[in-house]
């Protein structure tokens, strides 16, 4: 139930004394997107149905929640006041459903970005812990994009650099540090540095290195690369066409022949080698993220799997003298 505020014109009333969670869900979606069409797509319902639910909620509360014009949608003062209450009600409703429903009945959708790396190992261990649950892998690209899918309910869990996300988005996510991943560079096999066992960031001074610039899905990774490159005079490669799949990525990268920033453990493509970066070792802060109100035994298993693997292999032991922006280091500490 949404609290009644008897302070005059801003008071909320409800003829029934309770509010259908579906109406609150419609309100929250529009409040977050400030766009009825996008909010309807996010909830997988028709825009007319969404508009009808919002109007019904306004009638039940006896107040307007949105100012609608032909060009924009904005929250009213009562809409702003309702939003935190509505979110708490929906979180409580999700808790209730998880406590008394069969949360494991649906698959948990887990974004790995690239197969065979840290996130995939966490998923494999989680599957061993809860063999009765279906944990389904997805291979999207970039935490920036994945978090939008998580908040829209089309994805459940992803991994990446959470410090690069919008703070308002990050506030709605559960966050768990998983690993300080040593960074590396993917080099064409005929590159002058390819014969070395390791490469220092200073060795790449003046080089043009690809780090996803122009890809709207991977903004957090490109931002980390910019911070790293600025310290050693490395040039960020310009945008290339978005490549989906290993074969397409290999083809696009072969055309430019630029080195690619990656992490140790990244599977080398044909005609390339992966070399760790050293002196200092730049680390990529890998965190697991999920919607804060998500309740699922598969999520519990993923968190347990990450903790066990981290303890066994020292994933959360940061290498001495390693490079990491302070904002990332602080998030890894405070969320640990």
The larger pLDDT score, comparing residue 250 to residue 83, is at: 83
CATH of the domain spanning 104-180+284-334: 3.40.190.10
Q: What is the mean pLDDT of residues 29-34?
A: 91
Give φ, ψ of 235 to 5 degrees: -95, 135
CATH superfamily, region 181-276: Periplasmic binding protein-like II (3.40.190.10)
Q: Does the domain spanning 8-100 belong to CATH 3.30.160.270?
A: no
Query: pLDDT digit string (tens) for 81-97?
Result: 999 999 988 888 776 76
Say what the pLDDT of residue 97 is: 63
Give the residue range(s) of CATH 1.10.10.10 domains in the chain. 8-100
Alpha helices (runs of H) in the chain, residue ranges in sequence order: 21-33, 36-43, 47-61, 77-100, 118-129, 143-151, 167-170, 219-232, 246-256, 297-313, 326-334
Q: Which residues of 204-237 are buried (b: 16+ CB within 10 A; e: fewer)?
A: beebebbbbbebebbbbbbbbbeebbeebebebb
d(CA 72, CA 308): 48
Say what the pLDDT of residue 335 is: 74
User: Quick one: pLDDT band at residue 99, thresholds 50, 70, 90?
Assistant: low
DSSP annotation of 282 reads: B
The larger pLDDT score, comparing residue 151 to residue 7, is at: 151
DSSP string, 189-251: TTSTTTTSS-B-GGGGTT-EEBS-TT-GGGHHHHHHHHHHHHHHTPEEPPP-----SHHHHHH
When the pLDDT of each residue in the chain is averaged and rounded to a whole number, the result is 87
Query: pLDDT digit string (tens) for 152-184?
Result: 888 999 999 999 888 888 888 999 999 999 999
Give the residue range(s) of CATH 3.40.190.10 domains in the chain. 104-180+284-334, 181-276
The length of the chain, given as a count of residues: 336
Nearest to 308 by CA among 110, 176, 133: 176
In whole angstroms, how far apart are CA 182 and each of 67, 87, 158, 212?
49, 38, 19, 18
Query: pLDDT digit string (tens) for 254-272?
Result: 777 889 999 998 887 888 9
Say what the pLDDT of residue 262 is: 94
Say what the pLDDT of residue 317 is: 95
Q: What is the mean pLDDT of residues 53-68?
A: 94
Say what the pLDDT of residue 16 is: 47
DSSP annotation of 121 reads: H
d(CA 50, CA 243): 35
The larger pLDDT score, comparing residue 45 to residue 304, is at: 304
Q: Is the pTM of this model over 0.75?
A: no
Six token digits for residue 214: 């122009």
């Amino acid at each position: 139930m949404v609290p009644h505020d008897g302070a005059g014109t801003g008071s909320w009333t409800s003829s029934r004394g309770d509010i259908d969670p579906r109406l609150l869900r419609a309100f929250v979606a529009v409040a977050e997107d400030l766009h009825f069409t996008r909010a309807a797509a996010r909830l997988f319902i028709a825009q007319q149905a969404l508009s009808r639910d919002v109007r019904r909620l306004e009638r039940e509360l006896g107040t307007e929640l949105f100012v609608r014009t032909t060009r924009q949608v904005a929250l009213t003062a009562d809409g702003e006041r309702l939003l935190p209450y509505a979110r708490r009600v929906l979180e409580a409703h999700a808790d209730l459903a998880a406590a008394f429903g069969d949360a494991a009945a649906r698959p948990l959708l887990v974004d790995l970005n690239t197969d065979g790396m840290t996130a995939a190992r966490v998923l494999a261990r989680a599957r061993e812990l809860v063999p009765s649950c279906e944990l389904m892998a997805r291979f999207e690209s970039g935490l920036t994009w994945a978090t939008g899918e998580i908040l829209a309910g089309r994805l459940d869990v992803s991994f990446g650099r959470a410090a690069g996300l919008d703070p308002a988005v990050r506030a709605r996510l559960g966050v768990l540090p998983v690993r300080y991943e040593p960074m590396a560079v993917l080099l064409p096999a005929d590159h002058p540095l390819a014969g070395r066992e390791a490469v220092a960031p200073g060795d790449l001074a003046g080089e043009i290195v690809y780090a996803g610039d122009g890809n709207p899905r991977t903004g957090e990774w490109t931002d980390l690369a910019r911070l790293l490159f600025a310290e050693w005079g490395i040039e960020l490669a310009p945008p290339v066409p978005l490549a989906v799949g290993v074969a397409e990525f290999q083809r696009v990268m072969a055309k430019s022949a630029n080195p690619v920033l990656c992490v140790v453990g990244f599977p080398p493509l044909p005609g390339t080698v992966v070399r760790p970066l050293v002196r200092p070792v730049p680390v990529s802060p890998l965190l697991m993220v999920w919607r804060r109100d998500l309740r699922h035994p598969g999520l519990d298993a993923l968190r347990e799997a990450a903790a066990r693997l981290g303890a066994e292999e020292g994933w959360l032991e940061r290498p001495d003298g390693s490079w990491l922006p302070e904002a990332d280091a602080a998030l890894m500490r405070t969320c640990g």
